Chain A
Amino acid sequence: MEFRVKAKLVTSEDLRRIVTRLAHEIIERNRGINDLVIVGLLTRGAYLAHRIAKKIEEIEGKPVPTGDLDVTLYRDDFRTRLKQPDVQVTNIKFQIDEKNVMLVDDVLFTGRTVRAALDALMDFGRPNRIHLAVLVDRGHRELPIKADFVGKNIPTSIGEEVRVKLTEVDQEDCVYLVEAVEEEK
């Protein structure tokens, strides 16, 4: 399937500002950083989580425990997929009991990934509450899931996709809106 870039909706400058704003919003909602822990969904959600954590540390002068969560084993499409998706290594080195967990992902779409993340987190312990922060909310929810903190709302149609690029893995920092192109036969 080929994709064509329709627009660059978030530039690297925009991204930097969004991270700063999200960090402030999180601190504000949490009234500080006590009992706050951040868990990012592998892969890009985790990088974002670390950026947000770093910004929070800059602001508050204290580090926030941050971990990475792989939800492959909790997905609901296990039985219908043709190929086993590659699992990655979850890395959560702290307790989440009675903590305020900030779940971070790059794009919120159907909500199924977040559902899997909630199940996974429950196996790690019993948090006080779980909040969700996403860089982009593109709509089209299939489950009753909502984000508490949103970087940018980008309404999309079904043929379109939101592609987040982060320098930790990609060559740049930005967000593209792309659409599927029918291949010429």
Chain B
Amino acid sequence: MNQIKKLRHGGIKYQTANGKILIQDVHVIDPSQKLDARLNVIIENGKIGKIAQDMPQNFDGEIIAHKEAVLFPGLIDMHVHLREPGREDEETIESGALAAAAGGFTAVACMPNTDPAIETQEVVNFIKEEAQPLLVNVYPVAAITKRREGKELAPIAEMAEAGAVGISDDGTPLMNAEVMRRALEYAKMFDIPVLGHEEDSNLSRNRHMHEGFYSTKLGIPGIPSVSEEIMVARDIMLTEYTGGRFHVCHISTRKSIDLVRQAKIKGIPVSCEVTPHHFTLTDKAVESFDTNTKMNPPLRSADDLAAILDGLRDGTIDAIASDHAPHSIEEKEAEYIYAPFGITGLETAWGLIVSELLNKKIIGLKDVYRLCVVNPRKILNIPIPKIKEGELADLSLLDKQISWRLCDLPGYSRSKNTPFGERVLTGRPLAVINKGMIFRNV
């Protein structure tokens, strides 16, 4: 029978999937196994059993049936901020992983701007240990430089060996090109990517939203697009020069996307990700002065959003990643110029993917597979789960139809800083299965 596993910090959230589970008559998508049809999938002892078009007779386990659902190999969010160690009031590894599970993800990659930063083997190990009993796989991204100061390289080799899947100073741009060059060369040895937060801090200092008509109208100093673009251009050139692998985090402007597109045509190993808020909102949203419209990179213009949709369609953009950035109420409930950048994203990502991309026919389900299952894992060199008999079950079951709002639910993230709380979303994550455990959204 199913047993209930208690977690160290209390709370009963995951159930073991040791018995038999039948996921009945859902749309199963796994292009690597040429699967794109309504099928029945049996899971037994944490592994995938029979996959068949016909319903199994006399099934003696738990049946999960949901007509409007799709079953993917586990989705991954490759850019989240878990605030542990340092700001456990905002988020812990456990609460962040729960939020990920509730969001339909079985894996996340977490950024190193914790306190202390992920800049030593000890911190990498700490995170892995904390994450070990959780359903969701947590892959640490290590800092590029000591204390993320942008001056001296951190012990990258040690951290890669301990399990870091990439390096990044995310949150802060790496302004010194010489240091970035060395990082690209060094990381090459371990075949881990450099994940870049692209911003020129001289152009962006003391600025709080996108520079354009709305920043002019609202009197808020704006961050020009060119701040991101010149760094993207610089880092693409450094990547070409050094032969390393580079990934642009949270890409946000038309020119940045064009630069990545051109680089790919030339065969330079550059990839990029986009956040759900960047394919949903523009700088016009700041008119409300709601600090949940404040993040970095900022919400950009309508033209940039159009370029993002094009980039998703034509494959220039490799991944969707939320940049989940929890902040406490006291910090966000402040005047616009004093509030910190960042919004949560794990629990609303799928709803926005369905409402803004699938239902508007920008991309299809096969693209979701590419953007949320495969590409992020390719970039981070992580094994890609398969829906195949005998494989470990690592699955995301997602509904495409239900209308819902995050504010009507308790929510699993410790922080509530999102502009999408009261937005009606279409498509709700139903359950995730991984490591012999299942999590269900109520």
A and B touch in their complex, CB below 8 angstroms: no
A residues with a Cβ closer than 8 A to B are none
B residues with a Cβ closer than 8 A to A are none
